[in-house]
Amino acid sequence: MNVVTTVIKSRRSIRKFKNTPVTDEVMRDALECAALAPTARNEQPWLFGTVRDRGMLQKIADLTDHGAFIADAQVCVAVFATKGATYYLEDCSAATTQLILGLWSYGVGSCWVAGDKKAYAEKVRALLGVPDTYTLVSLVPAGYPADIPFVRKKKRDEILFSEEFRSA
């Protein structure tokens, strides 16, 4: 274990937030982590929108089906992909993961809220005034954790194999 693997392994999806503000400096650094994610052909086919306005957070929350807690976040990042980019989902998923881990490295909790494949994706895009050459991939509401839930993870022997797969 080292400091990086400790950050990665300790991350949980956080859906309850304290009122403590998340500084612009933390957001800037976490967004840089996102924007340095690997992408196919180094296309970087993305756009990141940061929302802090409480009224706007509530409107976004109301559009989602499993994201009501966005309304209670200090900040929410909307991750958009350039439409037509071949690997848009892989690229923007890598960025979303790096954003979440960058935030967690400062103790800021967040949760990936689905965007891609959701009927509300277009509504969120329009609400934020983003051109229709982009499509929503994820929403990342964030804030200092008020609760860190336990979730069961699969055991190593369920998910790993070496050299050749052999069924148990």
The 8-class DSSP code of residue 30 comes to H
> What tokens were used for 61?
């929350």
Q: Which stretch binds ligand FMN (CB under 6 A): 10-18, 35-43, 46-54, 82-90?
A: 10-18
How near is the Cβ of 141 to ligand FMN at its closest, in Å? 9
Window 56 to 85, contacts with ligand FMN (CB under 6 A): 66-67
**Selected binder of ligand FMN within 114, 128, 130, 146 (CB under 6 A):** 114
How near is the Cβ of 13 to ligand FMN at its closest, in Å? 3
Quickly list DSSP for 103-143: HHTTT-EE--EE-TT-TTHHHHHHHTT--TTEEEEEEEEEE
Check binding of 151 to ligand FMN (CB under 6 A). Answer: yes
Can you give the length of the chain in residues? 168
| Binding residues vs ligand FMN (CB under 6 A) | 12-13, 15, 66-67, 111-114, 151
